[in-house]
Amino acid sequence: MKQINYITTLLFLFIGSFSYGQLQLGRQVLGSTGGFATGTNISVSSTVGEAVVQTLFSTNLILTQGFQQTLKQNDSILDIEIINESCPGANNGSIFINNVLGCPGPYQIEIKSVDDSTTIFGQDSLASGDYYVFILGSNAGGGCSHQTTVFIGLDSDENCMLKFYTGITPNGDNKNDRWIIENIEMFPENTVQIYNRWGQQVWYGKNYDNDEVAWHGNNRNKDEGERLADATYFYVAKIEGIDEVFKGWVELTR
C-alpha cells in the first residue's frame, strides 16, 4: 500500500510540473504549406487549399480574398463624396473621390450607368440612379485600381422649375451676396434685366448662371462695381425655348 501511494505521489508531481510549464499560443496556422503576409500592424496566414490573393496593401493593412479575412481597420476603403440630383432633369448629381486606402492619387475616374452601361464623362452632371465607378490611382501606387457601385439620390420629386429669389444682401459676408435664380443652369440661353422703380434698366446679363454671370447689386450702366442703393428692384427674365416672360421684384439690402 505504501509503495502504491509513493508511485501516485510521483505521478501527481510529474503531471503538475507540466501544467505549470505549458506555453499558451495565440491563434495561428501551423504547417509548412499555405501562405503568410505581414504589414506593420497586422498579418495574414492561410492553410492548405485556401486561396489568398492580395487585393489591397497599405502600411498597416492587408486585405485578401479567401476563407479567412482580416478585420477592417477603417470604416471604408473608399472616401467618396456623393451629392444628390436636386430635382428630375437637373442632372447635377456628383461623385467625388477623395481617397482610396492604399492607392494614392491623383485618380482617373470612369463612371458607367448600371442601367445601360453608358460611359459618363462628367462626374458632376449626373442624374439620380446607380452607377459603376472605376478608379485608377497614380503610377506611384503601382497602377492600383478600385471599383464600386454608387447610388445618387433625388432631393426633390418636383419638376425642376425656375425660382426667383426676392432678396439680395451684397455686404461681403459671402451669404446671399449675389442674386440667385434656382435651376437657371438648366436654361443656359437666357437674358436677365434689372430695373429700378422708375423703370430705368440698371443691370443686364446674358446667359445668367448664378456664377460668372450674376447680379451682385451693382449698376452696370455706370462704372463697373458701383453699388446700387438699398431699394426694391424689378427683374425681367427671358428664357430661350420658353414663351413665358418671367417678371418680379427683388429687395436689395446691404
Q: What is the DSSP string of 67-110?
A: SSPPPPSSS-SEEEEEE-BSSTT---BEEEEEEETTB-S--EEE
Domain ranges of the chain: 1-72, 78-152, 163-252
- pLDDT band of residue 123 (cuts 50, 70, 90) is confident
Average pLDDT (109-116) is 91
Residues 133-166: pLDDT tens digits? 999 988 766 678 888 999 999 988 777 788 899 9
For the domain covering 78-152, report its CATH number. Answer: 2.60.40
Backbone angles phi, psi at 166, to 5 degrees: -105, 20
End-to-end CA distance of the chain: 110
Please state which architecture CATH assigns to domain 163-252: Sandwich (2.60)
d(CA 51, CA 62) in angstroms, rounded, equals 15
pLDDT band at 36 (very low <50, low <70, confident <90, very high): low
Could you tell me the pLDDT band of residue 89, with boundaries at 50, 70 and 90? confident
Query: What is the band of 2 on the pLDDT scale with cuts at 50, 70, 90?
Result: very low
Sign of CA dihedral 93, 166, 251, 185: positive
Is 53's pLDDT higher than 90? no
Helices (H), 22-50: none
78-152 and 163-252 agree in CATH topology: yes
Are residues 78 and 100 in contact, defined by beta-carbon separation less than 8 angstroms? yes
> Does residue 5 carry a pLDDT above 60?
no
